[in-house]
Structure 1
């Protein structure tokens, strides 16, 4: 049998293969062109979609969330937030915005160009008022909440959204509170109404740096109020913080919204039904604002000070470095490491954000008739020993079970 393939057949097969390959490439180019068209179409929709989102935010703020207006108050409207400006104190009286799940994907860069707000008829504070003042220009509506829209982001850098905040406050506890709000939005998947402001009163000192143009009051306190009005369980919570160092974790500064009203004189969420408003404004439950996936889910507040004589909570432990002391708190997580041959008990806050932890070395394991890793989890306990500092975190290493007592036993 002649098995040789005629040359013409081979040439025909090669031509067919080239045609098939060319067909695949043509299909690929066609699909890529179609994908490019879709990308352009999506890009063309982004601006009108954002515009409608912002319009909904402003509509819902006006209909559901604005504080009651006092005589002379004028609501200033910006793309993503509303405010009332206090000319007497040269800063916002309050701001209102909605933190939406868009914070998850918003990735616009910071602007850091602060401008006067021309919408405020009396004028706002200026760069000269803050220059060399020693105070940060503290955002009330966080810029990070608006990184999903350029116009809304830019408006957070207007001086109508700025109050003088001490650096140790603005860059620490105030920033932590803003992060806390974004986490509850991110992991809860629902938008949150946010009212923020300084606590203003007559007689506050003013910044007096050389070259200042306005008398900008220095608030002693700031507040932030959250309202979830969309979820299956509507809820509210408030926070009040000192304009300075705040040692305790964010949730320790939680307060009922009605206490914020008493402090500020504002009537918050007056559009709500009176019965519903009263119920929500009496709430103070930080745990209701944590959601699955939140890396801080499970943290609790430190025990309120003062504790019984000779006892300290986990925040106070930092002031006992080098001393033998009894530190009390809730064991919120435990972990055993083979590398260190130890069990770690994290108090009140989860690793690596804990304010205090207890170490039980494996060599001391026989001194316990129970497994501390399992038995002490989610229990309030007191540990006694020398407080030392490791990686800037206070800790006590305990040697036996007599140095660990349940809270109920310790306070008998």
Structure 2
């Protein structure tokens, strides 16, 4: 009976851990009503039917993502999940623009399928060639270098302001700007960049902006799942000191993130159950009950017998 109870207890804790873990994995997905959310194995995006590309792509990036050796196939193709609205490779032919990845293929090099899914046309956006192969590539490499040291939550997308027209039969919009931003839980730091869709020789740091500026430009709410006070502080910080490559953001102490709160709750539950088990099953020996004593009959003569035997 005890083994059954212990098994159920372990199963319950495992279920709780997995449920909370899966909740934590998706907690930073951007909030934006105008679009279709499409989920892949290791990233997701919010697709814009009007502009034939994503408003945002979101994924987690860490050292484990960058240690694989999946080869690049360049298998650009229509996204089967949204084939009705997806751009096609033909839309980009002789357009003068590159098929620019929003979720970079190199960020998914750990798995062949994950990398292949980055070649759906829903993940592409028309980029000026010298932008895509220049400052944008530099930014992607910078983010990967940080991710080799710490886990990051990355969001990337176009900004449809000062657009450069449209290409192909599908009328794919050529955005005027792009943004890339990430959140580092270990350093409690957010960094955002806004870059014009053009060749640039400016230093990467000069494109750093507060996250809340990107929100105003796009109408997207980033990292809304963070505690409000932490979100306000981080999103308002320009963080132009990115040359320090991961220096701690200025500011005082913050409340723990939701993931840290979940871990703390699980730890408290586990400790409580372990202590309860030890007290109940491995505590001190039960005290033996003292045997009850039967009342001892008094010996001796009663007053009546004394008077009878010893008359005065």
Q: Alignment length, in residue pairs?
A: 229
The within-5 A match list for 1:234-253 is 234-253=188-207
User: Larger strand proportion, structure 1 or 2?
Assistant: 1
Is residue 2:36 matched to residue 1:74? yes
The structural deviation recorded for 1:104 is: 3.8
Cα distance in 2 for residues equivalent to 1:57 and 1:80: 15
Q: Deviations over 1:52-81 (max 9, x none)?
A: xxx999854522x1111315x321001111
Is residue 2:201 matched to residue 1:260? no
8 Å contact 2:65–2:110 — kept in the other structure?
yes
Q: Could you say which residue in structure 2 is the equivalent of 1:108? A: 70
8 Å contact 2:36–2:48 — kept in the other structure?
no
Q: Could you say which residue in structure 2 is the equivalent of 1:326? A: none
Among residues 10, 21, 26, which one is paired with 1:62 in the alignment? 26
8 Å contact 2:102–2:125 — kept in the other structure?
yes
Of residues 248-257 and 131-140 in structure 1, the stretch that sits farther from structure 2 once superposed is 248-257
8 Å contact 2:77–2:88 — kept in the other structure?
yes
Q: 1:59 to 1:164 in 2, by over 3 A?
A: farther
8 Å contact 1:92–1:197 — kept in the other structure?
yes
Q: Could you say which residue in structure 2 is the equivalent of 1:175? A: 137
Q: Deviations over 1:60-119 (max 9, x none)?
A: 4522x1111315x32100111110111100111110011111244222211111011111
Q: 1:56 to 1:79 in 2, by over 3 A?
A: farther
TM-score (normalizing by structure 2) = 0.68
RMSD of equivalent CA atoms? 2.4
TM-score (normalizing by structure 1) = 0.52
Q: Deviations over 1:135-183 (max 9, x none)?
A: 0000000110000011111111100100000101000000000000011
Higher alpha-carbon Rg: 2
8 Å contact 1:103–1:145 — kept in the other structure?
yes
Q: Could you say which residue in structure 2 is the equivalent of 1:99? A: 61
Cα distance in 2 for residues equivalent to 1:191 and 1:173: 23
Structure 2: gaps of 5 or more residues: 1-18, 248-312
Structure 1: gaps of 5 or more residues: 1-54, 298-412
Is residue 2:41 matched to residue 1:87? no
8 Å contact 1:101–1:185 — kept in the other structure?
yes
Cα distance in 2 for residues equivalent to 1:56 and 1:87: 33
